[in-house]
Amino acid sequence: MQVFAHRGASGYAPENTLAAIKKAVQLGSTAIEIDVHNVEGQLYVFHDRRLDGKSTGTGLIEEVSQAYLATVRVGAEPIPTLWELLAYLQHFDCIVNIELKGMNSLTPFLSLYPNILSKLNFSADKLLISSFNHHFVASVKQQFPQALVAPLIEGIPVDNAALVSQLQAYSLHLSLSFITSDIVIDAHQRGAKVYVYTVDDAADIAYLAKLGVDGIFSNYPDISQQVIEQLSR
Ligand code: G3P
Ligand code: MG
């Protein structure tokens, strides 16, 4: 089972910051998930749509300026750009799952993606592009057929995993709260992997292993990895 460090190793360092990414690498993570927003044409790594609460800033992240964002801190950490994190991660053998959040425009990502492949040490099979916005998933796949894409869902569609065929998705990203055996089987029959968010509990990991899921998103990737290794003994 693949373990994605969720928002970096967010159980140990401020989520979606370079510190959380470095911690994940230090813990031996081979897959990392991060969330991105568009701010004045530049992609920034942050989870919430509002800066309030998790940072020193205030307001909708996609409506502030880059100059303002540079003054904002998450814990003691700055909000990194996607490019900064990828420039760091290119030196490690790591899959990066870029989750496209409620972006006001997909254009900055569509412009950046080919640059990531040509200017950084990433091949298309090391980048997994996901979103709850399935229009974004479809657009990325349409523009870049080699891209690995994944729809995120919170719930179970009436036609189970049919959307992975429609979107030519590499994987289906499911909520732990709604997962069923039927959708896992259907996704696998359609050739897609199943990754489940957000999973930190040993009993949940054991349950998901029985369902045959391919991976999880965990805030404590090292502990979850240990649980998985114990299950396979
Ligand atoms: O990508 C998996 C998971 O991160 C989706 O939910 O809200 O944590 O971004 P959220
Ligand atoms: Mg996410």
138-156: burial string, b at 16+ Cβ within 10 Å, e else: bbbbeebeebbbbbbbeee
Burial 91-114 (b: 16+ CB within 10 A, else e): eeebbbbbbbbebeebebbeebbe
215-222: average pLDDT = 98
In the reported structure, the alpha carbon of residue 47 is separated from the centroid of ligand 2 by a whole-number distance in angstroms of 7
- Residue of the CA atom closest to atom 6 of ligand 1: 197
Q: Output the CA 174–ligand 1 centroid distance in Å.
A: 9
Write out pLDDT tens, residues 28-85.
999 999 999 999 999 999 999 999 999 999 999 999 999 999 999 999 999 999 999 9
**Ranges 17-21, 101-105, 114-118, 208-212: which has the least confidence:** 101-105
Average pLDDT of every residue of the chain = 98
Ligand 1 contact via 130 beta carbon (within 6 Å): yes
Ligand nearest to the CA of 153: 1
Query: Does residue 152 line the site of ligand 1, with CB under 6 A?
Result: yes
CA of 171 to the centre of ligand 2 (A): 15
Residue 231 pLDDT > 90: yes
Q: Which of 3, 6, 170 to mutate to test the pocket of ligand 1 (most atoms within 8 A of CB)?
A: 6
Provide Rg for the chain, Cα atoms. Answer: 17
Phi and psi torsions of 75, nearest 5° = 60, -130
∠ CA 119-120-125, nearest 5°, is 115
Task: Grade residue 104 by pLDDT with cuts at 50, 70 and 90.
Answer: confident
pLDDT band at 219 (very low <50, low <70, confident <90, very high): very high
pTM score, whole prediction:
0.98
Closest CA to 95 of 31, 148, 5: 31
* Ligand 2 centre distance from Cα of residue 215 (Å): 14
Residue 3 CB less than 6 A away from ligand 1: no
Q: For residue 229, how far is its CA from the centre of ligand 2 (angstroms)?
A: 25
What's the whole-number mean pLDDT along residues 125-149? Answer: 98
Percentage of the chain exceeding pLDDT 70:
100
**CB distance 46 to ligand 1 below 6 Å:** no
15 lines ligand 1 (CB under 6 A): no
Q: How confident is the model at residue 93 (pLDDT cuts 50, 70, 90)?
A: very high
| Contacts for 216 with CB less than 8 Å, ≥ 6 apart | 1, 2, 3, 4, 195, 196, 197, 198, 199, 205, 208, 224
Tell me, what's the ipTM?
A: 0.99
| Beta carbons within 10 angstroms of residue 167's beta carbon | 19
Map out the domains of the chain with their CATH numbers.
Answer: 2-34+92-231 (3.20.20.190)
